[in-house]
Structure 1
């Protein structure tokens, strides 16, 4: 049981590093940030800010449950690739 807790903690801290490695898209191929905002809003998210960091879109928002989140998205696929939470 202790191993599971340690493994979960390790994965949590590794996610931002994974995001930085995953967002390797030339900027001329990025989809517009407004498309990402529209997609997330349709899922029930409330967006407070979006910025770019390490080649990803970094979204500060409340998700559909009202939880505050900070999530990295691939700028081409809009796939969530990591979090700072």
Structure 2
């Protein structure tokens, strides 16, 4: 019984940490541009691959490109990029 309670507590702590990490990107703000000024996400993908990134998935948020990838150092990241300049936007 104690083992089960300890397991549940650990699971709760892990889930809370994951939830906090998942909501952390809510602070990312890209400059708002009209969609007509945005460069294509394919162009961003080509740029990142040329720089050594391995892209798993890309999404379009309201004002940013959101990229799930491995960076050139091999670290798994969720990164945000300005859709006009392709500058990386930090949290």
The one-character-per-residue Cα deviations of 1:6-51 (angstroms, maximum 9, x if unpaired) are xxxxxxx6x752x32x331111110011110000001100001100
Which residue pairs with 2:42 in the alignment? 34
SS at match of 1:35: helix
Moved over 4 A (4+): none
Note the residue ranges of structure 2 that are not aligned, 5 or more in a row.
Answer: 1-23
Unaligned runs of 5+ in 1: 1-12
Matches within 5 A, 1:11-50: 16-17=26-27, 19-20=28-29, 22-50=30-58
Aligned counterpart, 1:73: 81
| Number of residue pairs matched by the alignment | 68
Structure 1 length-normalised TM? 0.72
Whichever of the two has the greater Rg, that structure is 2
* Structure of higher RCO (CA pairs closer than 8 Å, 6+ residues apart): 1
The alignment yields a C-alpha RMSD, in angstroms, of 1.6
